[in-house]
Amino acid sequence: MHIYVYIKSASSAPNKRAGQRLIACTAFPEKLRGLPGSGPGPGGRAALCRHCAGLPSAHVVRLLGHLCAGLRFRPRSSRESAVERQAMELGAPSQLWLWLLLLLLPPVPGREKESDSKWKVFIDQINRALENYEPCSSSDCSCYHGVIEEDLTPFRGGISRKMMAEVVRRKLGTHYQIIKNKLYRESDCMFPSRCSGVEHFILEVIGRLPDMEMVINVRDYPQVPKWMEPAIPIFSFSKTSEYHDIMYPAWTFWEGGPAVWPIYPTGLGRWDLFREDLVRSAAQWPWKKKNSTAYFRGSRTSPERDPLILLSRKNPKLVDAEYTKNQAWKSMKDTLGKPAAKDVHLVDHCKYKYLFNFRGVAASFRFKHLFLCGSLVFHVGDEWLEFFYPQLKPWVHYVPVKTDLSNVQELLQFVKANDDVAQEIAERGSQFILNHLKMDDITCYWENLLTEYSKFLSYNVTRRKGYNQIVPNLLKTEL
């Protein structure tokens, strides 16, 4: 969606090109920064465009000596778009004034008016989300510092040796120690590849870490419900607001993700390599070439996914969603009575405009990958988190969907009817992941998290007997 704004100073004559300029801007004021007259004053262009953004289409108002045409949709073809821009920018003043005069007429009752009214709720939500959004401009991982502060708040009273001994005794995770810039671990690890994925990042920053010890949970589920008193320090990759676990970047950024045969036989991992593959695939499937059918492939790790599968069977042109097998698959009952679909490589998801993300047992590992397709992500539910989720905002970076999917058909109709709006959300989501979820950001988060955590230990850590030193593994080069 674009707003075409005709700027005309009060002193300029209509037949002079000086002082007259047609500006194509979006409904998002941040894109106007740096333009002359885009300051906070009431006559600034940012204020003008914000005003226009709230107007019904085909209306024009006079605002502080300016003329603006509000919410004019981009034509269907790029040829039409180019013709319109050329006509607006180079056409004779008389033609432009005629165009503005026609727009001053009230809109014809009917389909357009009904359409504006129908989607107003969503447009208003997008505008409010953008007005309240404060983008992270930092080039390091400080975007996520608030998550670290919040997660460590329950432990500001200190973590004693006695408390840590109790945490280790309960076997709620794997016990690690960092002593004199060396990493030690108990021999037992429930999922060795997951522990290896965690250890990779700790070893990357261990030369800058003080002595400490911690228990890292590599299970899927968090371990410290808020009703547990006192709160105990357990690191987990995902949680809900009902848990006190301390979130850390999941092992899958390096290795230890779910093994999917035959596409990911060694498990999902190497986020750095995956980023490159997804960016290449996104370039091969730009927005205009993408299939406008909503898409999902995944196993039935949560019944919350069922409504989309059933909707796809009812309306396959709207949604293409099927269940695949996982390690727990036993019969077609596990895929809602239909044969399991073939697994599809994540890079092949980029062919589709609309991609769905659901929780699994906990937060879904696929979420970050979907954004890099340049597709519009539909995120179902908001209960489960990873450390980077709080910086991703509904309607700014993705489309929020109710957990029961009761609004999914209306949302799909909205994005299909407002393709430019959908594309802009998709672009913001993709840019955020590209800019703020690099491998350097993951390493940076680990360093900041462990450094802050160590400040709450109220005792000097001593090495436990029988703990072996962990050294770097050979570089894992496959996805």
Active site members: 220
Q: Token pair for residue 8?
A: 């005309």
- Position 159: which residue type? I
Phi, psi angle pair for 323, to nearest 5°: -90, 140
Q: Are 221 and 363 in contact (CB under 8 A)?
A: no
Q: DSSP assignment of 235-285, as one string?
A: EES-B-TTB-PEE---GGGTS----BTTTBTT-S--HHHHHHHHHHHHHHS
Of the candidates 104, 14, 1, the one whose C-alpha atom is nearest the C-alpha of residue 49 is 1
Residue 18 CA neighbour count, 13 Å, CB half: 2
Q: Token pair for residue 182?
A: 């060396």
Of the candidates 90, 89, 37, the one whose C-alpha atom is nearest the C-alpha of residue 64 is 37
Name 385's Cβ contacts closer than 8 Å, sequence gap at least 6. Answer: 238, 239, 240, 247, 363
> Distance between CA 260 and CA 267 in Å, rounded?
7
- Position 128: which residue type? R
Q: Token pair for residue 60?
A: 């024009």
Q: Are 429 and 392 in contact (CB under 8 A)?
A: yes
Indicate if the alpha-carbon torsion angle 222, 246, 388, 402 is positive or negative. positive
- Position 319: which residue type? V
Residue 161 CA neighbour count, 13 Å, CB half: 6
> Distance between CA 313 and CA 211 in Å, rounded?
56
* DSSP state letter for 154: G
Q: How far is CA 307 from CA 243, 332, 413, in A?
A: 28, 17, 17
